[in-house]
Amino acid sequence: MLSQLSPQIKQYLIITGNYWAFTLTDGALRMLVVLYFHQLGYSPLNIALLFLFYEIFGVVTNLVGGWLGARLGLNKTMNIGLALQIVALIMLSVSSQYLTIMYVMAAQALSGIAKDLNKMSAKSSIKLLVPEDAQGKLYQWVAVLTGSKNALKGVGFFLGGLLLTLLEFKGAVLAMAAMLAAVWLFSLYALKEDLGKAKSKPKFNEIFSKSPAINILSAARMFLFASRDVWFVVALPVFLAASFNWDHWWVGGFMAIWVIGYGFVQSFAPYLTGKKQGKVPSGKSALLWACYLAIIPALIALAVTTGFYVKESLIIGLLAFGAIFAVNSSLHSYLIVNYARGDGVSLDVGFYYMANAMGRLIGTVLSGWVFQQYGLGMCLWISAFFIVITAIISIKLPDTANN
């Protein structure tokens, strides 16, 4: 059956499989680090600092990674990403006495480079595997890739909590390194060598986008992801463990359900935004859905700060946030691939995901500091404010790649 598939579909399946395997380890590692170091007595701000290099190097990687992808080919950048994640996991398998803040930050830096090389390579590859005149199919493929990735990241959160309980920290990271090594070896053999290589070698100064549409979308993306991570990365799991007395299983399970649901909604986003009527998203679509999203964190923040059924409001509200955020993210993921140039697509996608990583960096640092100083309610108020900024920026988004 597999032999009857077209070369494009085979490459898409390999890329998606790589992305899925990497995402499982990425989600599990994030939950392992948060729960393990909270268990060791680290403060929320110190836990956030453990992810500082992860996000900083993600910003740099997206900026430079698109240039590397255009020069070397996306197969090489994807395989380099897989290899770096294996090294990062092995680094974290040392005895707990060596797991100082600086050492863990260094390992997380490698993991951040790996994650964004892998993501940039996967998202850029889809543009090259779908014909220019098949925008509906492109939207669907991007939505499936992104949605399935986030669903598996949720499984990874659960896996992280489970592995920490069953194998402890060292056993968990070694088990994940072994699994990812097998995927990496297969990818070296199977992934097409010239995928994504630009016809002309781009200069290094071309890493900054010259497209107004991509610059506007990148700014909107930065504030959108800051609005999520300001409460999601550190504040929420620590709040659930400390205020509700949830153990690793419960915290990892809730985070997993949230991200899995988010991923499923992303996969079906084309059907929620008009694909059945033959529509593909425009800049106006992104603006509209950002306006819907801004209301939710404000309502949750109000409930948390006034003590109104805090547990129920938080759980129901964050599930609703996840669903609408998923549509927003899916719209952005389609628009960047639509706006990007065909030759050297990874340059445009890399610049855009640099802004995405910058948003995560802002959100991560604020998540630890604001939660420690002012609590979860303030994190949610800041989230609502960031989404309002996203909506204002989105007013300027063009409807098509040609505008």
Q: What are 25-48's pLDDT values in tens digits?
A: 999 998 899 888 888 888 888 888
Q: What share of the chain is helix, strand, coil (3-state, %, to 5)?
A: 85, 0, 15
pLDDT of residue 199: 55
Distance CA 156, CA 362 (A): 23
What pLDDT band is residue 269 in, cutting at 50, 70 and 90?
confident
Question: Coil, helix or strand for 210?
Answer: coil
Domains (range + CATH), the chain: 2-195+205-394 (1.20.1250.20)
Mean local confidence (pLDDT), 42-62: 85
> Which of the given ranges, 106-110, 241-245, 277-281, has the highest pLDDT on average?
106-110
Residue 403 clears pLDDT 50, i.e. is over it: no
pLDDT of residue 8: 67
Two tokens at 128? Answer: 């090259």
Residue 207 clears pLDDT 70, i.e. is over it: no
Of 89, 81, 95, the closest CA to residue 107 belongs to 89
Residue type at position 104: V
Distance CA 273, CA 286 (A): 10
Two tokens at 184? Answer: 């990496």
- From the CA atom positions of the chain, what is the Rg in Å? 20
Distance CA 326, CA 290 (A): 11
What pLDDT band is residue 367 in, cutting at 50, 70 and 90?
very high
Question: Coil, helix or strand for 18?
Answer: helix
pLDDT of residue 236: 93
Angle between helices 345-374 and 235-243 (to 10 degrees): 30
pLDDT of residue 84: 96
Report the sign of the C-alpha dihedral through residues 340, 346, 350, 353, in that order. Answer: positive
Neighbouring C-alpha atoms within 13 Å toward the C-beta of 298: 10
> Which of the given ranges, 3-17, 33-47, 223-237, 335-349, has the highest pLDDT on average?
223-237
8 A C-beta contact, residue 14 and residue 187: yes
Mean local confidence (pLDDT), 132-154: 70
What pLDDT band is residue 345 in, cutting at 50, 70 and 90?
low
Residues 6+ apart with CB under 8 A from 363: 225, 226, 227, 228, 229, 230, 232, 233
What sections of 233-309 are H helices per DSSP?
Answer: 235-243, 248-272, 283-306
What pLDDT band is residue 342 in, cutting at 50, 70 and 90?
low
Q: Is 341 left (phi over 0), alpha (psi -120 to 50) or beta?
A: beta
Two tokens at 266? Answer: 């992303």
8 A C-beta contact, residue 176 and residue 306: no
Selected residue with higher pLDDT from 357 and 349: 357
pLDDT of residue 296: 97
Selected residue with higher pLDDT from 279 and 283: 283
Tens digit of each residue's pLDDT (9 = 90 or more) over 285-335: 899 999 999 999 999 999 999 999 999 999 999 999 999 999 998 888 888
Residue 135 CB burial class (10 angstroms; 0-12, 13-18, ≥19): middle
